[in-house]
A and B are shown apart, each in its own frame.
Chain A
């Protein structure tokens, strides 16, 4: 199938705490896994990505981990701030058949001050 499952659909954390969003994918040939942040009324923006030859990538407060065997990847945000509130989408490039970027359903993250 062509599935990317994302959990949870909503997440509420206290400012300063960490947030974790998880995704699973179906195509074992997938090789590119980006994460996008979409604020209300704005366009999606790439915040971090990882390729299948890497297990972990970090950029300041944001990190992504990839487990190819289990076909899942996760976004970790540490020391959360109010401006982190947004909808986050994971995605995977599916290779079987036509190459396409398939998105998860999104996680609405709310940071409580």
Chain B
């Protein structure tokens, strides 16, 4: 099976803009989670989607949102970008309904730089 894919791989935006990142999970996986990775804060959970519904959410402001489509592909959106949003955004899919309570398969990430 093909692995988790993310597009785009690199993105440069300016403060105040918004951005949409895309994630395609492994075929058959219905749980998709998003994480932010930075050198200072490490890996932080953003949210998890399962069967088109947001099931869990981390401690991020409302500027961070997401959605999942019927084919399990997921997008996350960040509005009114801030310099501190510069990070590697990783999505991960999981093969069973436990989602974050089971093995996660990560995509390569989208490197977002905010200037």
Contacts and interface: CB of A to CB of B under 8 A. Distances in A.
Interface of A: 2, 31-32, 34, 36, 42-46, 49, 89, 91, 93, 98-106
A74 to B, nearest CB: 19
Given A91-B43, A106-B43, 18 more contacts: A2-B59, A32-B98, A32-B101, A42-B108, A43-B106, A43-B107, A43-B109, A44-B43, A44-B106, A46-B105, A93-B100, A98-B58, A99-B56, A99-B100, A100-B100, A103-B42, A103-B43, A103-B45
A108 B57 CA distance: 28
Interface residues of B, number: 24
Describe A's contact surface by its main secondary structure: strand
Contacts of B71: none
